[in-house]
Amino acid sequence: MKKQSLQERQQRQKDHLKNTALATQAIRAGSVSGTEQEHNEAIYATSSFIYGSAQEAAQCFSGASQGNIYSRFTNPTVRTFEQRIAAMEGGQKAVAASSGMAALTSIFLGHLKQGDHIVSSCSIFGSIVGLFDNVLAKLGITTTYVSPSDYQAWEKAIAPNTKALFLESPSNPLSEVGDISLLSALAHKHNALMIVDNCFCTPVLQNPLALGADIVMHSATKYIDGQGRCVGGVAIGSEALMEPVFGFLRTVGTSMSPFNAWVFINGLETLSLRMQAHCSSASKLAHWLESHPMVERVYYTGLESHPQHELAKKQQSLFGAVVSFEVKGNKEVAWRCINETQLLSITGNFGDAKSTITHPASTTHYRMTAQARELAGIKDNLIRVSVGLEDYQDIQQDLDLALSRC
């Protein structure tokens, strides 16, 4: 029997992984053992890399040969994370960044220039509105906001200088759903990019690239980490589309740290199992809230009352783990409800193992103008719950007690 080297075996495993399921890729994709033959992925905590000769260094710096130069550019731990998330999303290449906002900024400033135009869903994270209105606008890049579910509005908003369509689906915090296939076709008809924020679903529940999108991005801080430990982001797409994203990111230096990448690598290993558990509890909670006497309206794509329920069934495998609802009353009533919870954590983050609760109008979306919040449907009596991994009955009882006191 021919002796097989570890390197040969790893190449065979790499080839084999191309035909495996997402849950397997989440554990195995991008994994390469180093000279110490470690089983778990190593943390390459180094700023720079060494060479055997001046000639070898020159070849790496010029791009004539592949190799690491500086961790602001590439790092082995970060590369493992990039390869793994790219495999899960079905993309050719991923570019990891220091945050979700850094990834998104790198996408737009890598691809757009002065005079270009974006058509964006109006139902997006508040900081993204700030990026569009306060940063990109200064550079001569304009944005038009439309309802995520109004196809005619998207079509009408497209101008000759439109270069990108941006959709967050489901949206934060109202879980509005846009038709990714339909909007991708519209973008391509006008030679524009279709960019999708897949943070709420993760690749476990939705694959925008398979639905026609050009670029998908994540805040890895959320479900990819899953325990609220690290901040990071990532963009995924074709080799050609990721090249300018990487070029911008390596220049401005918003790179992901090796330690954070290692945390995200390990987070991906349990992502499929966690998302199933998150979604199961969220579905129960949404249905329970819908019949609660103190609740005016519930926003969750898994409810048949949700206006895009059928579309969500079509492009998602499950309905997600974020449930938003309007209490009967005003902001003070919503705040009182939040304050009366004993178990849920009051924080703006979501995607954590711990259930979280927040008041979007005064936290995650407070930077938006009152007019912009009104357009997005974010009312003062709205509460957002990110359903964690605690026992479901404990989550429900905590909210039931809080609602009875508000």
- Checking if the pLDDT of 35 tops 80, the result is no
Please list the residues that pair with 119 across neighbouring strands. 144, 165
Task: Answer with the one of 223, 253, 269 that is the final residue of a domain.
Answer: 269
Residue 12 carries which side chain, given as an amino acid letter? R
Question: How is 40-53 classified by DSSP, letter by letter?
Answer: SPP----SB---SS
The pLDDT tens digits of the residues spanning 60-107 come to: 999 899 899 999 999 999 999 999 999 999 999 999 999 999 999 999
Return the pLDDT at 89.
98
Would residue 1 count as lying in a domain?
Answer: no
314 to each of 167, 207, 310, 348, how far by Cα in Å?
17, 12, 6, 29
> pLDDT confidence of 11, banded at 50, 70, 90?
confident
Query: Does one domain contain both 217 and 160?
Result: yes
Question: For position 7, what pLDDT does the model report?
Answer: 82
Band of pLDDT at residue 252, cut at 50, 70 and 90: very high
Dig out the tokens for 124 from the structure: 């997006």
- Check residue 33 and give its pLDDT: 81
Is 35 a domain residue?
yes
Task: Decide if 391 is inside a domain.
Answer: yes
Share of the chain above pLDDT 90, in %: 86
Examine the domain organization and report whether 126 and 172 are in the same domain.
yes
Query: Which of 269, 288, 314 lies at the terminal end of a domain, its last residue?
Result: 269
CA atoms of 253 and 247, how far apart (whole Å): 10
pLDDT at 79: 97
Instruction: Extract the tokens encoding 237.
Output: 């797409």
Residues 133 and 265 reside in one and the same domain = yes
Confidence bin at 4 (pLDDT 50/70/90): confident
With 0-12 / 13-18 / 19 or more C-beta atoms within 10 angstroms meaning exposed / middle / buried, residue 237 is buried
Same domain, 327 and 263: no
How confident is the model at residue 369, as a pLDDT?
86
Are residues 318 and 238 both part of a single domain?
A: no
* Residue listed under structure tokens 């679903």: 201
pLDDT at 306: 97
Domain carrying residue 162: 6-269
| Helical (H) or strand (E) element with 357 | strand 356-358
- Shared domain for 241 and 338, answered yes or no, is no
Of 253, 269, 285, the position where a domain reaches its end is 269
| C-beta separation of 118 from 163 below 8 A | yes
Query: Is pLDDT at 277 greater than 90 in this prediction?
Result: yes
Residue 30 in domain: yes
Which CATH number belongs to the domain containing residue 401 in this structure? 3.90.1150.10
- Range in 30-44, 159-173, 375-389 the model is least confident about: 30-44
What H or E segment, with its residue span, contains residue 375?
A: helix 370-376
Q: Same structural domain for residues 212 and 316?
A: no
Cα separation, 163 vs 215, in Å, equals 13
Do 326 and 178 share a structural domain?
no
Task: Give the pLDDT band (50/70/90) at residue 126.
Answer: confident
Please indicate, yes or no, whether residues 285 and 158 belong to a single structural domain of this protein. no
The whole-model pTM stands at 0.94
Region 285-296 average pLDDT: 98
- Do 184 and 248 lie in one domain? The reply is yes
CATH number at residue 166: 3.40.640.10
pLDDT, tens digit, for every residue of 186-235? 999 999 999 999 999 999 999 999 999 999 999 999 999 999 999 999 99
In a domain, 130, yes or no: yes
339 and 237 fall within a common domain: no
How many C-beta atoms lie closer than 10 Å to residue 296's C-beta? 13
Task: Tell me: do 110 and 75 sit in the same domain.
Answer: yes
Confidence band for 406, pLDDT divided at 50, 70 and 90? confident
Please enumerate in sequence order all residues whose Cβ is within 8 A of that of 5, keeping only pairs 6 or more positions apart, or say none. none
- Rounded CA gap, 154 and 224, in Å? 30
Number of separate domains in the chain: 2
